[in-house]
Amino acid sequence: MEIQKRQDSFRWMILFMLFAATTINYLDRQILSLLKPVLDEEFGWSDEDYGIIMSVFQGAYAIGLIMFGWIVDKYGAKLGFAVSIAWWSIGAMLHSLAVGVTSMGACRVILGLGEGGNFPSCIKTVTNWFHAKERVLATTLFNSGSNVGALVAPAVVPLMAVAWGWQSAFIAAGVLGFLWLFFWLRMPKEPRQALAEESAAVEREEKAEKIPWRQLLSYRQTWSLIVVRFMTDPVWWFFLFWLPDFFKKQFHCNIEESMMPLVTIYAIVTVLSIAGGWLTKRLASLGWNVNKVRKVSMLIFAACVFPVVFAQSLGMWQIVCLIGLAGAAHQAWSANVYTLGSDMFPKSEVASVTGLTGMAGQVGSMLFQPAVGMILVHYKELGNAAGGYDVIFMVCGSAYLVAFLIFSLIVPRIGMVASRRAEEPGI
């Protein structure tokens, strides 16, 4: 009994480590966007250059997701996570040596490849250490680090940049990653026997039933999720990467003055995204079927994003509230989209569907980042540096309603797909 209690305490220590890693992950990726106003002047790059740099990061991140998914499955979550965070911490520190667009782009590639290991490692670790009935809670808790990282970064990075130079923020992020790694390597490698047996049984089941991506593409349900993530994932990345620049152009905020509105936005996102999760649970408790719960929830969240189309015509704090609401709605929307995978596909295929649709989201984001840069450059040449954001916010605000309409047309009624294997001869 004493051994079991000790190993139970290890599980929550490990969960805290996953939360901390996810927080560092989001803090690292947001540093460059917060420093953009400073680096614009130092490196003389354009918004188009910046958009390309962010697009390159997302391409590398998409590759990193696939690469570390294989590494973690083959060599285990503990080693895979250690390699991942060491990799991205080195990449973060190398940013301090960048001298222009090319070198900064190279650093973003290294960072993106390494950061791709965070979520595969976290999901694998939760699977190994938590019983099936506990995994939803465990995943929700470690994933809250994404909101905390986005909240902490604007509160800390501008102050460090002003006090010790912009390079200090990247160096500190790398040091933080290696500090995490020191404690991670001291964590136990294997869960208690009961969990190990359950995890092994799940892995055997998944390997036995796993189907190739080309077969998943024959389902209209797969395409519905591909379209949804392709259209809406880029909006969240736009908020992460471009808001500091927006506040500079729209309200002439320097790096310190933009700190408070950004912190407020992500505080709103953190609180209201939890309310979004409660709303979905509340609708389900009314006895509604899964189709009605998902469709009504998604429509509500899509409607909550729409008001950002009016952002340019409002005052700064009104815009902060609108973007905070939109960001929270995106997080709640994403939670429903992730859950749609398990609503429409057998458990053995959920991971593949998630990986395939996640890649679609990254491809959409890769295309959107340079498009944002080109739109801003075009309006700057017309003498209206902030005017491009009118177009961009219109796209962001309407993307969810359009995606919801397309999803509803492709999948009129949400339900489990019929297995194609049962239709094959001899099965």
Degrees (nearest 5) of the Cα angle 112, 117, 119? Answer: 110
* Mean pLDDT, residues 311-328 taken together: 92
The yes-or-no verdict on residue 201 having pLDDT over 60 is no
Please give the pLDDT value at position 177: 96
Please give the pLDDT value at position 203: 53
Please give the pLDDT value at position 423: 41
Instruction: Calculate what percentage of the chain has a pLDDT beyond 90.
Output: 41
Residue of 21, 29, 180 lying closest to 95 (CA atoms): 29
The yes-or-no verdict on residue 208 having pLDDT over 50 is no
Highest mean pLDDT among 225-239, 272-286, 330-344: 225-239
* Mean pLDDT, residues 333-352 taken together: 75
Please give the pLDDT value at position 204: 52
d(CA 50, CA 63): 20
Backbone phi, psi, residue 234, to 5°: -60, -25
1-209 maps to which CATH number? 1.20.1250.20
Per-residue model confidence as pLDDT tens digits over 162-186: 899 999 999 999 999 999 999 999 8
Q: Which two tokens stand for residue 361?
A: 């989201």
3-state SS, residue 28: helix
Mean pLDDT of the chain: 84
DSSP letters for 136-194: HHHHHHHHTHHHHHHHHHHHHHHHHHHHH-THHHHHHHHHHHHHHHHHHTTS-SS--HH
Please give the pLDDT value at position 422: 42
DSSP state for residue 11 in the 8-state scheme: H
Least reliable range by pLDDT among 80-94, 193-207, 337-351, 366-380: 193-207
The yes-or-no verdict on residue 350 having pLDDT over 70 is no
- Per-residue pLDDT band for 348 (boundaries 50, 70, 90) equals low
- Helices H / strands E in the chain, number of each: 16, 0
Highest mean pLDDT among 108-117, 187-196, 284-293: 108-117
The CATH class for the domain spanning 213-417 reads: mainly alpha
Per-residue model confidence as pLDDT tens digits over 62-87: 888 878 877 887 888 889 999 999 99
Comma-separated ranges of CATH 1.20.1250.20 domains in the chain: 1-209, 213-417
CB atoms within 10 A of CB 181: 18
* Mean pLDDT, residues 362-370 taken together: 91
Residue of 169, 160, 164, 322 lying closest to 243 (CA atoms): 322
Question: Quick check: 410 and 223 in contact, CB under 8 A?
Answer: yes
